[in-house]
Structure 1
């Protein structure tokens, strides 16, 4: 881009008021239209990051805002450093969520999915995707995300579908994908298996029932307890602990189940806890995950385990035909009531006796209950045939990669969690009973023989004759396809495919950008996405998918609670952008992100960062009005004055701190480094120090420093910095593709000492005035009888600035007159400032003493409360937090007041 390009805004006088709305949409459209998110840099070092693909049905939520802000900070930083920075973007087809959205729209028209063929329904989903599936990508643009939209991906794109099919077939042929009968999380409303990620545990008021199960030989009975009485219709055993002496004599005996008449054994298994209840546990291996494992240890094969529910969680006849007829077809919860009624009628219910001696059918309890996050109904563990990935085998290379450092997890504390889960990983169920998604490439003949191939012709070739083949109705878990994201988005597996994803002459995108450099992810999808990418990447590509994995925390409500619609505490990031601007929200996210710790939402801080952008805007206006313009040099200008040499050194130090923070992925440290330089160093001190001294050197230095600010701040606040970049003068390129600072100089220690001495003097005088109630503008005389020659020279060189900023009418090197005075220490120097006639000394002492007594008393009271374990442990967390904050305030105030009294002698 050149300044002559009509699409590049010409320099103009900055408006008096900073209005983020006026600049954000304009600049984003300009960047995207001109391909600035991935400039042509074929010789540059590549840098690659992939965006966790949001659901195509989604809207931007506060978690997206955090995740994508951090990614954009990194990719803009690396782009400014001259890298060939590629941020891969796309959306996930979100099987369950998308199918539900389309089915709900059909319901509004009194229509439903099953009125149509599968092909017609899928076509309707594609129509919805093209018409309504771009909401979140538009919202990511509003946040300022500089993604390479020219290569936007979708997990159902044809090239992606071919990659998914190839992976399934190849892993099947290696024995790493197989079909098995196991328990799954079954959603009876959606009629599909779902992953653990899609299960939400809610506390539900329920009951704890106790029943007697008689021994078949008539020698007695055992007592079992359950929160799901209906499952006794499919009981296959009861278990006792192998060391429980109470039941040693009945292990191996048969139970006669009262309702079904089924005979089943008493087995010894460590799952039974002797300390809980009676120590006897009923075992229903077809409907409980723990019982499934007990059943396998007891010798039951999955195919032999009894199933008592259909896909809608209604009672069906078990394989042995022993479920009584009046239960068949009942909903599971209706069946529960009938089971309790029948067992009670037959005398096998053990009543619960409350503290008043009254009997009840069950003990009331609050039960943690699994619900489907989409269907909203209780999840049923259900025994069914599904497709599984041998995750244990695939997990071994990623485990080794984290151990030997090929994958660095940040923060390192997450490594323990990674190893614990990966080393105990279970088979991964990858099939879903949906119509929308990647259909499983498997065909069955009439004898249930399986033929897995990339298409039906290949499956028929495997069958070897003209037998009838029926394709598997299931689709793949969404996470299966998204696990291929780091390389399938780059053209894998076919080199011929790559050409369709690249610009002319770019070469192999896959070879250049795999492995990715970094993945930024919420910790909540560490296992559902991150670990699976590591497994698939190392298996299929032979290399790690990314070199570093950064895990951030959650954005919580101001009181620390998790945000949820049911609590009404969800924060809309788009509303914050409307109110304060995208830059302010982005800066808040970066400044508050401290290596994985959760972030408490604080709208006042977002507003504060909007004020920060306004302060920078006003500083730029000040510079503009005083003839300070865009710098023409990357290196720092030559400077003679101490203030200019000092500010150049401050740029050098800020740049070093920011670079180190980015290396360490300390987003908070990086944001705070540039924040304090802009607000404190540049705006509050440098601009004040140079007022009235605008020689050519100062104008050049000030313009250069402002340029460095805009470049360093750009990754965090791209919109306001780009606007200011162009408003300060003609530029040969946009800020988004500018060069990262290279001052080419070192810190001038002498200038730093001189200016910091002045800053300390001014700050201490202002503080002392505030403590003693002296008007800020009051001019005071100061005495420095013991000042050395160096200090005298410093004061003489900077006399006008000291007088203007510290409001000292004169600094004398004579002994101070007798009488009340305040002492101001600066480094090794001690100033004496007489107060006779300035304030009423006696009245001020009395006021300070009274205030000191009150603050000291309050601080001691709060300290006593906080040292009481009963208060800290029993009070509400917010009350304890407030007490700590109040104690800190009063303790600090007492110190301030004591110092003020001491100044008066």
Structure 2
């Protein structure tokens, strides 16, 4: 045991050293040994994008999952936290295409094969940067098992899954209306489209009737789509248009006659003109209407969002340019009928923010309803539990109304669809073979593979079992499937979680997780979502390693004037203005503990830099408390069970250790990490440091006494057990300090492998807790009097304790040394009966049934005290008068809620008691001079 501990805790030195030690000694490895019969705990890590760098969302899930992982490792589980990265099809292709653009070329110039080579080159150079950053946070994943979704074994699993689903009729190819990202030039799934409110306009124009007898006016928010109109719909019961049933209108720009159809599903007669233009190729409602009336489906858009040749005079224009041009042309033809402001929902790509277009296209789809039903049943029947419970209803609703999943993407980077088209017989061969020699239909060798790749979420949906060797029947698959928990953000419940549920049950026969734990979104201090345009982004590494405000805001809002950025940043983080010139090096432990104190089940988690500073102080408290204790622990005996304790303070701290152990385990087990972390915080700072360490000081004054020997062993045991309790939350500092303490014989090589305390850690002693609570109340009351009257901290005061209770008097007598030390009294406090005369100049406070009298003479000037009391009396009388007036009003006494009236009466009684005490204090003030 080393007692040589630096005066200040320096996170950087400690964190780097211990992480290297953990990885060198395989502390985080799960066991593949066939004879390992320990219970397993499995947690699949949400694979971050290979393009990514650490942000606060990552910091949150890494912290939460690391707490769960370290806890279960310490409770004796064979623990697998499965790490890895996702190939992130659109994001990665976008990154590399931007690099090529800077080089003056593009992927089409390179060709598909060379482009894929370039992406792999970028991947090799960039590496798994985010996985390295995760290590800075202390992530204890089994890194040797790390997977990449484009690894050969995972790619094989993707092909196998596709082929099986296709053979079962659950994957099919069809021409449908889909969401098209014109910027990335690929289809998107429904979930990858975010609808945001926007200010638009409702533009009205007239279609001339074919027979020249009149016109019908329609309204639209997207005038350019009228180039693809193949119908005009009216409500069958709308009297205004009865004469138009069965008629046709003439398109003003292209040679097309458009039928007028009646449709009660599409048309609301009260909206707009009551007549609706129908563009089946560019609107989902219109597509359904077109199917009902057998309307022609005409696409007017190229993949890049420009108008195609069907658009006639508008061909080649960007869609938004065409919008203005179409409006102008309609005005020139005298067909425009005005416009008015209109609130609409704008569909944007979740990937890049571009406006998404509905477009007709031939794609590959998964038939999801048959897969969703077992996934729904698993949650309904309790095989998989969703926490918080409220998300079960959302899951139920979404899965009950699920649409087929479009899984093909018009990208080059990703898992290429294993479908091969025959040039001779048009048969499609779907196979796990990467390079089939011939068509399985006719044997022709004239076959070509589908150019599209699979949606990234398809491979991610296989993550819980593809990472374990599926489709092979591996030992890892048998041992580590299903996972114990899945922990992730609620925002990807349907992107990822639902898909893993469907895939896992379908291919493995049982749900992939026993629990789904959902955390909220990290937002800025004011509650706003983080984003670079808002200038409120914080890099977790800046909080860990330290950064000036200039460095912080440059990352938050790159390229913007520093003063503008700083203004935005401080608006988002009001507490930042109290932080000086920037963030100190708070260390990973302080950031982790801060994140753990927020409820993981809250939908929004407002990050406060000031709060992180507070928990850095907590880490310093852990360090300094250990530093205080170490010199007294020489020769301490620490066993696997609590030492025998006879002294009240020792019995009390062991009992409180038992209580916080139970609370911590319950908090972690029930995914209430905030309860667990805050309970540990209050125990360590409020009970162990503020009280127990203070109780030890007079005892350790005589190191040779039996009391000192007992207290030494209790302190060593309690501190060592507490570091084990804290380890999942603050792994670095606890590992450092644990190796300095006395420990049981043959300790493991790392605290990370030590046993987490359980109910056997110490006996619960409620009698000791009650008795110490009396001493705490008495000491606290005396300290409050000192503080309220501004008595110098170093001054000794005379104290008298009055009670008629024999047990209390005995307890106070036994605790005189503690009271004298912690209150700083002049000699032992006097213990008397309640009727004893009040000492002259003594102020009384009552705590736990004991009258605590503190003599102010020699410490407080009578005139100043009298003036202070008089000010307090006036303020109290003013408050009493206001409450009395309020309660006398019938409008309040008779009409306000009964509980509000009762609370006001209670406040009035308390104020009257306060005034009585202040009147007494006036007399005491006169005794001070």
Equivalent in the alignment of 1:615: 621
- Cα separation, 1, equivalents of 2:793 and 2:318: 78
Label 1:216 to 1:562 Cα distance change in 2 as closer, same or farther (>3 A): same
Write out aligned runs for 1:742-821 (5 A).
Answer: 742=758, 743-809=760-826, 810-814=829-833, 815-817=836-838, 821=842
Label 1:198 to 1:425 Cα distance change in 2 as closer, same or farther (>3 A): closer
Q: What is the RMSD computed on CA atoms of the aligned residues?
A: 3.0
Higher relative contact order (CA 8 A, sep 6+): 1
Which stretch of the first structure deviates more once superposed, 126-135 or 832-841? 832-841
Equivalent in the alignment of 2:757: 741
- Cα separation, 2, equivalents of 1:899 and 1:294: 81
Q: Secondary structure at the match of 1:904?
A: helix
Label 1:291 to 1:534 Cα distance change in 2 as closer, same or farther (>3 A): same
- Cα separation, 2, equivalents of 1:896 and 1:344: 82
Equivalent in the alignment of 1:391: 368
Label 1:818 to 1:619 Cα distance change in 2 as closer, same or farther (>3 A): closer
Label 1:785 to 1:158 Cα distance change in 2 as closer, same or farther (>3 A): closer
Label 1:397 to 1:750 Cα distance change in 2 as closer, same or farther (>3 A): same
Write out aligned runs for 1:216-365 (5 A).
Answer: 216-260=210-254, 261-300=256-295, 304-318=296-310, 323=311, 325-351=312-338, 362-365=339-342
2:724 to 691, 703, 711: 711
* 1:167 Cα deviation from its structure 2 partner: 0.4
- Cα separation, 2, equivalents of 1:850 and 1:385: 83
Label 1:701 to 1:159 Cα distance change in 2 as closer, same or farther (>3 A): same
* Contact 1:269-1:294 within 8 A present in 2 as well: no
Label 1:214 to 1:610 Cα distance change in 2 as closer, same or farther (>3 A): same
* 1:602 Cα deviation from its structure 2 partner: 0.2
- Cα separation, 1, equivalents of 2:158 and 2:482: 19
- Cα separation, 1, equivalents of 2:349 and 2:93: 15
- Cα separation, 2, equivalents of 1:838 and 1:308: 90
Which stretch of the first structure deviates more once superposed, 342-351 or 410-419? 342-351
* Contact 1:515-1:543 within 8 A present in 2 as well: yes
Equivalent in the alignment of 2:72: 78
Label 1:457 to 1:437 Cα distance change in 2 as closer, same or farther (>3 A): closer
* 1:224 Cα deviation from its structure 2 partner: 1.5
* 1:451 Cα deviation from its structure 2 partner: 1.7
Q: Does 1:696 align with 2:709?
A: yes
- Cα separation, 2, equivalents of 1:229 and 1:859: 65
* Contact 2:636-2:712 within 8 A present in 1 as well: no
* 1:896 Cα deviation from its structure 2 partner: 12
- Cα separation, 2, equivalents of 1:85 and 1:64: 21
* 1:270 Cα deviation from its structure 2 partner: 2.2
Deviation per CA, 1:560-609, whole angstroms, max 9, x where unpaired? 11111111111111111112110011111111124233110100001111
TM-score normalised to the size of structure 2?
Answer: 0.86
Label 1:683 to 1:255 Cα distance change in 2 as closer, same or farther (>3 A): same
Q: Secondary structure at the match of 1:463?
A: coil
Unaligned runs of 5+ residues in structure 2 are 546-584, 701-707, 886-890, 892-906, 923-929
1:494 to 464, 472, 479: 472
Label 1:597 to 1:336 Cα distance change in 2 as closer, same or farther (>3 A): closer
* 1:16 Cα deviation from its structure 2 partner: 0.4
Deviation per CA, 1:286-338, whole angstroms, max 9, x where unpaired? 111222223233345xxx511011111121234xxxx4x31222221222122
* 1:849 Cα deviation from its structure 2 partner: 3.4
- Cα separation, 1, equivalents of 2:522 and 2:284: 32
Write out aligned runs for 1:466-485 (5 A).
Answer: 466=444, 468-485=446-463
- Cα separation, 1, equivalents of 2:749 and 2:588: 23
Write out aligned runs for 1:79-118 (5 A).
Answer: 79-118=73-112
2:379 to 397, 402, 414: 402
- Cα separation, 2, equivalents of 1:384 and 1:771: 77
Label 1:420 to 1:381 Cα distance change in 2 as closer, same or farther (>3 A): same
- Cα separation, 2, equivalents of 1:520 and 1:596: 14
Equivalent in the alignment of 2:409: 432
Between the two proteins, the alignment pairs up a number of residues equal to 844
Q: Does 1:658 align with 2:664?
A: yes
Label 1:903 to 1:113 Cα distance change in 2 as closer, same or farther (>3 A): farther
* Contact 1:771-1:896 within 8 A present in 2 as well: no
Q: Does 1:720 align with 2:733?
A: yes
* Contact 1:487-1:514 within 8 A present in 2 as well: yes
Deviation per CA, 1:749-808, whole angstroms, max 9, x where unpaired? 221121111111111222233334444444333334433221121122111111111234
1:31 to 22, 38, 41: 22
Q: Secondary structure at the match of 1:460?
A: coil
Equivalent in the alignment of 1:215: 209
* Contact 1:783-1:816 within 8 A present in 2 as well: no
* Contact 1:492-1:510 within 8 A present in 2 as well: yes
* 1:258 Cα deviation from its structure 2 partner: 2.8
Write out aligned runs for 1:109-258 (5 A).
Answer: 109-201=103-195, 206-258=200-252
Q: Does 1:827 align with 2:833?
A: no
Label 1:426 to 1:82 Cα distance change in 2 as closer, same or farther (>3 A): same
- Cα separation, 2, equivalents of 1:177 and 1:856: 76
* 1:267 Cα deviation from its structure 2 partner: 2.7
- Cα separation, 2, equivalents of 1:796 and 1:423: 70
Label 1:859 to 1:484 Cα distance change in 2 as closer, same or farther (>3 A): farther
* 1:184 Cα deviation from its structure 2 partner: 2.0
* 1:390 Cα deviation from its structure 2 partner: 0.7
Q: Does 1:638 align with 2:654?
A: no
Deviation per CA, 1:85-139, whole angstroms, max 9, x where unpaired? 1000000001111111122222222222112232222122112112103110010
Label 1:244 to 1:758 Cα distance change in 2 as closer, same or farther (>3 A): farther
* Contact 1:340-1:349 within 8 A present in 2 as well: yes
Label 1:553 to 1:901 Cα distance change in 2 as closer, same or farther (>3 A): farther
Label 1:50 to 1:901 Cα distance change in 2 as closer, same or farther (>3 A): farther
Q: Secondary structure at the match of 1:451?
A: strand
* 1:689 Cα deviation from its structure 2 partner: 0.9
Equivalent in the alignment of 2:575: none
Label 1:279 to 1:778 Cα distance change in 2 as closer, same or farther (>3 A): farther
Unaligned runs of 5+ residues in structure 1 are 1-9, 352-361, 499-507, 862-866, 868-889
Q: Does 1:444 align with 2:421?
A: yes
